Amino acid sequence: MRPLRDQLQREVASLYAFVQNVSRACTPPPQAVSYSESSSKFFEYISHLADRTKQHILDFDSHADDDAEGFVEARTELLTLRAAWRELHQFIKPSADADTLNQPTAMVAALVDRLHELQGFESTDFTIFHTDSFYYAQVNPSAMEVVVAPLARIVDADPFPPNLGLIGIPNSQGNALFLNCLLAHEIGEYAYAKRGIEARLAADAAAALETHLGERFSAQPLILQSRMTKTVLHYAKEIFCDLFAVRLIGPCYSFAYIELFDLPNLLNKDGTLNVSDNARPPILSYHAYPSHPFRVKVQSDLLEAEGWWDAIKDMDSRHCAVLRVLLDLDMQKFVEAEEAAGGDRVPFVKALIDVMPRAKEQVGEITNGIDPRLYEYGLLWKPIAEYLRNGIVPSTLNIPNAAGTLEEVHATPITLLNAAYRFYLEGVEELMSRIKDQAPSSAQDRAAWMKRIERWTTKALEDVALFGSPES
């Protein structure tokens, strides 16, 4: 058998090569691609971590001479290094793929600027990475810190940047605009983790389960009680993040959610709600999440409470019709549907409903003082729609003032997103009617003009960022 030193050197060299390849993925050829500042920060940190790791393991073969206990300790250290890099590796290529041409840069910038309005999040930024999944994803910042901390400690590297989050978007949506309003939910996940909301809701969730299950909960071993409580907490986290997103950016989040999950399929031909057993999607909750109709119901309630509903209820759109029918639906209907199905989720849905006021309270505390931009929206949504109707980027609006003259106005990104999304949903036909040889009945023609509305809005967001956001 070869000497231990030779074998250990081979294992160390393998890890060195692996880390070196990861590091190279963080340094694309000059001028090949461009990255956002947050992505560059992430790559710089990974490169720093890689350099420190390589330097640390250069002398690792000396552990071959350690005694048995020292050798086991050293070999465990090597295992820790490899395990940490294995976890980090999954984010490198997806982040490198999300260069500025393949991520919604203007949208991300608008959302981050909006987040900076909240106390305690003034320095937060996000690196975007691509996923092969249909869904958006947020990497728990605490989990990332847990992965990196032992590695950084061993190789004497800096800790993971404390105000940097990682958000995954479907790799097909890098150039989309309106659907990426869903990023607001992932920002909510970041806030949920950073503020330790789960710990604040745990007692309420357990108490609610005991109320609805009695001894079927309290008599269970603690590990089973914890597992049952986690189910309610997982439900509550989704509700928290949805409500956070609505508070952050308004109804455009709900429109994107309705679009992604095709919730107009909830409606009958006459626009009423289909609550039959054949309804698609069903109002029954899923194994790990509240049902989509349940979540949009909660969003519609907040939109009404915030005053947004009065501003959008006259929209000529089935997206708005979905909000309307769910707003009118009593929350008890969801419980009744679970009971009729005879499933085991009834007490969990009841417990969730009990916990929701506490979750809403937490959302209110985090977003306290944020301006929903309702007043501005009321003043500017029609002028923005008129600009888009005429194929004009609504960066600078000329609005009549009290003196009867025109005044230049720059809408905030939140108003731009909500007004433009409204036009995207209800104004495409009028836009196309002004263009020769364009048929609203053609999916190809309609899709092309919908894409143009997104591009015009994206350009407006970029221009407004250059102008500087107006004062609240």
Measured between alpha carbons, how far is 10 from 368 in angstroms, rounded to an integer?
A: 56
Task: Give the pLDDT of residue 201.
Answer: 98
Task: Give the pLDDT of residue 440.
Answer: 84
Task: Give the pLDDT of residue 2.
Answer: 47
Task: Give the pLDDT of residue 70.
Answer: 65
Give the full edge-to-edge strand order of the sheet including 164-170.
125-131, 164-170, 137-139
Question: pLDDT digit string (tens) for 112-154?
Answer: 999 999 999 999 999 999 988 888 888 888 888 888 999 999 9
- The single-letter code of the amino acid at 356 is M
C-alpha 95, offset from chain centre:
16
Task: Give the pLDDT of residue 470.
Answer: 46
Measured between alpha carbons, how far is 370 from 258 in angstroms, rounded to an integer?
A: 24
- Helices first, then strands: H and E counts in the chain: 19, 5
Task: Give the pLDDT of residue 471.
Answer: 46
Task: Give the pLDDT of residue 153.
Answer: 93
CB 465 within 8 A of CB 109: yes
Full pLDDT tens readout for the chain, 472 residues: 544 555 667 778 888 888 888 777 776 655 567 888 899 899 999 999 999 999 888 876 666 565 666 667 777 888 888 889 988 888 888 898 888 888 899 999 999 999 999 999 999 999 999 988 888 888 888 888 888 999 999 999 999 998 999 999 998 888 899 999 999 999 999 999 999 999 999 999 999 999 999 999 999 999 999 999 999 999 999 999 999 999 999 999 999 999 999 999 999 888 888 866 666 667 778 777 899 999 999 999 999 999 999 999 999 999 999 999 999 999 999 998 888 888 788 999 999 999 999 999 999 999 999 999 999 999 999 999 999 999 999 999 998 888 888 899 999 999 999 999 999 999 999 999 888 888 888 999 999 999 999 999 999 999 999 887 444 4
Task: Give the pLDDT of residue 467.
Answer: 81
CB 152 within 8 A of CB 26: no
Helix or strand or coil: residue 320?
Answer: helix
Please give the biggest Cα pair distance in the chain.
94
Task: Give the pLDDT of residue 378.
Answer: 96
Whether the model clears a pTM of 0.85, i.e. scores above it, the answer is: yes
CB 189 within 8 A of CB 141: no
Measured between alpha carbons, how far is 149 from 84 in angstroms, rounded to an integer?
A: 9
CB 75 within 8 A of CB 152: no
Task: Give the pLDDT of residue 271.
Answer: 87
Nearest alpha carbon to residue 395 among 100, 113, 106, 102: 106
Task: Give the pLDDT of residue 436.
Answer: 87
Measured between alpha carbons, how far is 95 from 141 in angstroms, rounded to an integer?
A: 16
Task: Give the pLDDT of residue 368.
Answer: 96
